[in-house]
Amino acid sequence: MRHALDSLHPITRRGTKLRVGLQDVIVDYTVSPLATPGEPPSVLIELQAMDRLMRISREEAQIANHQATRALIRGMAHEIKNPLGGIRGAAQLLEKAPSGTNVGEYTQIIIEEADRLRNLADRLLGPHVLPKVQQVNIHECLERVRALLLAEAAGRLQIRTDYDPSLPELQADPDQLIQALLNIGGNALQALLENPNPCEPPVITLRTRPLRQFTIGALRHRLVLRVDIIDNGPGIPLTLMESIFYPMVSGRANGTGLGLSIAQDIVHQYHGLIECESRTGLTQFSLLLPFDTERESNPELRRD
């Protein structure tokens, strides 16, 4: 109250603990100075109890996490069950094979299915090699991704570009960036080809923009690169929006649910973030990559 009166500006505080009787309550409050001619200085205090809202928010978060975890477990079980079935079937045939029979076909199945399980584990663990960091032009990476998507689409869609040529180069591994961009662009391509919009031709847009004085997590960066991958497809179901970056969560029947998770892991290596917004006719993934990552990426320097 004293601060509000001295500064003649309203003061707002959120998530403040107050003792009321024998219990603590959490409130948001605002103290506003009132200046009335001929009257002594006074303040207006507004308080809003937040305990119930915070409890509801925590409960909703727990429910969402539980649903995402169940989806992750179901997806992982499905991916593991298929190769295990092949291994079991081949082993049974191998056991019943008459003496002297060429069993190379059965052993090859076992080897291939075991390799599938190993590859699945490797993909879940994410990139396990050190990035080859160098100066990277993001538009060269995007053009590579555009060429790959166009080749796969075989003329069935358009890819538009909206680049800002003034952007400086990044310090990153170009192969990792291409993988992250391709994972997202590939999802957009599949969504457009599997569920085309009857009212307009399928289009993917690749866009780059700078963001100045932008905060990612708890760090504020002077300059951040924003790469948008936009499609006019059917959109992501609302039930999946909170868990699309979880591994093994996919809205497609034949999807593994690893592409977005791997892309997010790659971007996190550069202290960035991937955001998504989606509705019918517009899905936009935004990769946020800070340009000033050299200091933050070095753990020795971060302890300064």
| pLDDT computed for residue 296 by the predictor | 43
Count Cβ neighbours within 10 Å for each residue of 148-175 and write b for 16 or more, e otherwise.
bbbeebeeebebeeeeeeebeebbbbbb
The CATH number of residue 225's host domain is 3.30.565.10
Tell me: do 222 and 272 sit in the same domain: yes
pLDDT at 26 over 70: yes
* Contact residues for 207 (Cβ-Cβ < 8 A; gap 6+): 161, 162, 163, 227, 228, 230
Dump pLDDT digits (tens) for 148-197: 999 999 888 999 999 999 999 999 999 989 989 999 999 999 989 888 77
Compute the distance between CA of residue 214 and CA of residue 150 in angstroms, rounded to an integer.
33
Tell me: do 169 and 269 sit in the same domain: yes
Dump pLDDT digits (tens) for 111-123: 888 887 777 776 6
| pLDDT computed for residue 115 by the predictor | 80
- Percent of the chain whose predicted confidence (pLDDT) is above 70: 83
Domain final residue pick, 86, 101, 125: 125
Compute the distance between CA of residue 270 and CA of residue 195 in angstroms, rounded to an integer.
34
| pLDDT computed for residue 293 by the predictor | 58
Tell me: do 85 and 182 sit in the same domain: no
**The pTM is what?**
0.62
* Chain mean pLDDT for the chain: 82
Tell me: do 192 and 159 sit in the same domain: yes
Tell me: do 146 and 186 sit in the same domain: yes
Tell me: do 99 and 158 sit in the same domain: no
Q: Is 304 inside any structural domain? A: no
Q: Is 101 inside any structural domain? A: yes
Q: Is 274 inside any structural domain? A: yes
The CATH number of residue 112's host domain is 1.10.287
pLDDT at 302 over 70: no
Q: Which residue has tokens 């307009």?
A: 200
Dihedrals φ, ψ of 48, to 5°?
-130, 120
pLDDT at 126 over 70: no
Q: Is 34 inside any structural domain? A: yes
Residue type for 116, please?
Answer: R
Per the structure, the complete domain to which residue 85 belongs is given by: 69-125
pLDDT at 253 over 70: no
Tell me: do 273 and 211 sit in the same domain: yes
Tell me: do 108 and 142 sit in the same domain: no
Dump pLDDT digits (tens) for 4-17: 888 888 999 888 88
Tell me: do 259 and 158 sit in the same domain: yes
Q: Is 57 inside any structural domain? A: no
Nearest to 170 by CA among 19, 272, 77: 272
Q: Is 63 inside any structural domain? A: no
Compute the distance between CA of residue 159 and CA of residue 146 in angstroms, rounded to an integer.
7
Nearest to 144 by CA among 192, 172, 191, 177: 177
Tell me: do 195 and 291 sit in the same domain: yes
Tell me: do 206 and 113 sit in the same domain: no
The tokens describing 278, both together, are 């989606």
| pLDDT computed for residue 90 by the predictor | 80
Q: How many domains is the chain partitioned into structurally?
A: 3
Dump pLDDT digits (tens) for 33-90: 998 888 888 999 999 888 777 777 777 766 666 666 666 666 667 667 777 877 888 8
Q: Is 59 inside any structural domain? A: no
Length of the chain: 304
Beta strands at 134-136 and 42-49: parallel, antiparallel or unpaired: unpaired
pLDDT at 288 over 50: yes
Tell me: do 154 and 210 sit in the same domain: yes
* Integer CA distances (angstroms), 158 to 144, 161, 206, in order: 15, 10, 11
> Quick check: 126 and 262 in contact, CB under 8 A?
yes
| pLDDT computed for residue 244 by the predictor | 81
pLDDT band at 251 (very low <50, low <70, confident <90, very high): low
Long-range contacts of 146-149 (CB under 8 A, 24+ apart): 146/206, 148/182, 149/182, 149/185, 149/186, 149/189, 149/204
| pLDDT computed for residue 46 by the predictor | 93
